[in-house]
Structure 1
């Protein structure tokens, strides 16, 4: 018992201490950061960096771009993945097995392997330097994992529910919208948080497809505070805090569904 509590304490410190350092540094000046990196801000709760990052930087535009890309990417990925997962659940033949294996194989291909062919495809479609191109790429690369999670959950739903709905005269669309989706909300919410974190923090694809400042997302914009010879740590950590806020809010609002979604089927006999 002591060993377990000690291990949990160490793990908590490994998470809390860096977080505290980020918060404190975001309230310091460059001089304070280098003179006293581990100390408290001399002026207390100084939010000048948070004000300046929106006044002197085009951070508001980057934030809006990230919101647009993330919301559309998550929403469309969930919509398409739910439809695919439902179809794979209802089709009990070799076709569904082959399709599920293909989606599973999509999870095994590293993103770096797809960079060159994916860039050529997006370039030929004329979708570079556009939020639409970034959204379509996000959907294509995250659908496999979303389909994998949702299919695994939907297969645990009792088949008697489908049979009873069919006897009552419900079609496939009504079964999908009135039966499957409400019962799958915990798994859908857990998948939504997972996708939200992936898309919101994504740096690889914006770095690959976006060069115009008007279409930069927040993670890509944070690179502006890192120069070749020096890094503006207070402003960088301020940007990190701003970028982390939506993820924290989303988790707090959906944590009940997230936990139930992750544990769904764990005690199924």
Structure 2
């Protein structure tokens, strides 16, 4: 229905929502949405925020997860508990204090502000997933590397990272979907059209009394395409990451 509606006019949509028009389907909406709605700019904004947010979240989260698993005493458990507590607080509860912090830093209406907020908000769940996976890695591998004279950084980069690639890919897909579809934080921090992301831009097609469904569904298709493509190329890592540790030999 979304695909059909994106290739119709508004009148054709209301006359026959599920049918194909007599004069056939057309791609005028896709041309219009890029020429008149500056959709390309919104797409670039979403891609910039998502790529940097996912990259830096994974970069810090994998190091934190490795540190937690290497701390075998109570310190590792306390550190893991602190990040777990960060998952228990809903984002809506933090809106007022978070907006105050971002405003005082002068980062409203900026992609940098969105990136920093995304990193801080999704770091707990990334650490939670990666720590759970790294705990399943055999400790004998780390001990053998230590005996061979490898330091912590070499063990981390040469042993932990290669073995964690399935979990890293699964976490990357999960974070990608969260950041790409995020509407709350752009709606909270962005008012300038130049910095709008795709989910926020799609609200422009909804008015108080009417909604331009063909243009809205065209935008939905464009916004969904990167997620579908990403999953197609990384699905084997996603499945492997989700099943890792489920069966122990």
Length-normalised TM-score, structure 1: 0.91
Cα RMSD over matched residues? 0.8
Shift of 1:268: 1.6
Residue number among 103, 108, 111 corresponding to 1:131 in the alignment? 111
1:119 is matched with which residue: 77, 90, 99? 99
| Contact 2:53–2:119, Cα closer than 8 Å, also in 1 | yes
Q: Pick from 52, 55, 63: which aligns with 1:83? A: 63
Question: The residue matched to 1:156 in structure 2 has which SS?
Answer: coil
4+ residue stretches of structure 1 with deviation over 4 A? Answer: none
2:197 is matched with 217
- For residues 56-84 of structure 1, give each alpha carbon's deviation from its aligned partner in whole angstroms, at most 9, with x where no partner exists: 11110000000000000000000000000
* Counterpart-to-counterpart distance in 2, 1:113 and 1:260: 34
Aligned pair 1:177/2:177, yes or no? no
- Report what 2:42 is aligned to: 62
Give the whole-Å Cα distance in 1 for the aligned partners of 2:21 and 2:55. Answer: 41
Aligned residue-pair number: 249
DSSP-derived class of the 1:169 partner: coil
Q: Distance in 2 between matches of 1:112 and 1:41?
A: 43
State the 1:39 CA deviation: 0.8
Displacement of 1:42: 3.5
TM-score by length of 2: 0.99
Structure 2 residue ranges without an equivalent (≥5): none
C-alpha distance in 1 between matches for 2:240 and 2:79: 27
Give the alignment of 1:100-115 within 5 angstroms: 100-115=80-95
SS in 2 for 1:105: helix
1:85 and 1:147 in contact (8 A); partners too:
yes
Encode CA deviations 1:38-68: one digit per residue, 9 max, x unaligned: 1124343411111110011111000000000
Aligned to 1:168: 148
Quick check: 1:70–1:200 contact (8 Å CA) kept in 2? yes
In structure 1, runs of 5+ residues without a counterpart are 1-20
In structure 1, the partner of 2:224 is 244
CA distance in 2 between partners of 1:146 and 1:223 (Å): 29
